[in-house]
Chains A and B, each alone.
Chain A
Amino acid sequence: AQKITQTQPGMFVQEKEAVTLDCTYDTSDPSYGLFWYKQPSSGEMIFLIYQGSYDQQNATEGRYSLNFQKARKSANLVISASQLGDSAMYFCAMREAGYSSASKIIFGSGTRLSIRP
């Protein structure tokens, strides 16, 4: 069964520093996708970045990059030059491949990131 683990309930980081949010996953499907979402205090879920299991390079989107280590089954989110607006909950999620009726995303429990000025 697929599983997502985020072991950091909360983190404090100084503004302008880089931060790494950890995510490990478990799946028996060789084809899957990994996502990171941001949830600010206003409550909406904002898509940040995606990594496919067959992608050769780590995904990057602006200040966000995904450190994908397939053998370790980890997909850590790296935020460079953190800003006060990065303070939020961050969720790692995984979806296994295919059109099967079981195709769905599962979420980790989240990491609350707080940026200090």
Chain B
Amino acid sequence: NAGVTQTPKFRVLKTGQSMTLLCAQDMNHEYMYWYRQDPGMGLRLIHYSVGEGTTAKGEVPDGYNVSRLKKQNFLLGLESAAPSQTSVYFCASSKTGLAGVEQYFGPGTRLTVT
């Protein structure tokens, strides 16, 4: 049972380059999320999805785009990377959006933009 997986685990980009982070879950969860974690801070929500084909903005969406073409996958794109996007990115999923439902997290992707 893989749970939530993220690809890649590490990446170094130059300013202006683009890339896509892939998140996959095998738990048939409806909700999926992308967070970023900066040093000394908690996780901040970038974008999320409440079901296949839907996306919505979170707390810090600027500079990112997302897509949820398949229920099990949630892609995070950086069109033109900036040093301010150096961070650890976590994907998460949950069965529903109800208050008591736990989010399951992937292992994270460490992204450095030079």
With A44-B107, A45-B105 in contact, is A101–B99 under 8 Å at CB? no
Q: Which residue of B lies closest to A105 (CB)?
A: B103
| Complex: A47 Cα to B101 Cα, angstroms | 11
A69 → chain B, closest Cβ, in Å? 18
Interface residues on A, range: 20 to 34
The reply to whether B42 and A91 contact each other, CB–CB distance below 8 Å, is yes
Q: Which residue of A lies closest to B56 (CB)?
A: A101
A32 at the binding interface (Cβ < 8 Å)? yes
Which of B13-21, B44-52, B65-73, B77-85 contacts the other chain? B44-52
| Complex: A110 Cα to B44 Cα, angstroms | 12
A-B pair number, CB within 8 angstroms: 74
The reply to whether B42 and A47 contact each other, CB–CB distance below 8 Å, is no
The reply to whether B43 and A103 contact each other, CB–CB distance below 8 Å, is no
By a CB distance below 8 angstroms, the chain B residues around A104 are 33, 45, 48, 58, 97
The reply to whether A110 and B42 contact each other, CB–CB distance below 8 Å, is yes
Majority SS at the chain B contact face: loop
B100-114 contacts to A (CB < 8 Å): 100-105, 107-108, 110
A51 → chain B, closest Cβ, in Å? 9
The reply to whether B102 and A47 contact each other, CB–CB distance below 8 Å, is yes
Contact of A109 among B41, B88, B98, B107 (CB under 8 A): B41
By a CB distance below 8 angstroms, the chain A residues around B103 are 35, 47, 105
Please name 24 pairs of A and B residues whose Cβ atoms are closer than 8 Å in the assembled complex, sorted by A.
Answer: A32-B99, A33-B100, A33-B101, A35-B102, A43-B88, A43-B108, A44-B107, A47-B102, A47-B103, A50-B100, A96-B99, A97-B98, A98-B98, A101-B50, A101-B56, A103-B50, A103-B98, A104-B48, A104-B58, A105-B33, A105-B103, A106-B45, A107-B43, A108-B42
- The chain B residues found within 8 Å of chain A, CB to CB, are 33, 35, 40-45, 48, 50, 56, 58-59, 88, 90, 92, 96-105, 107-108, 110
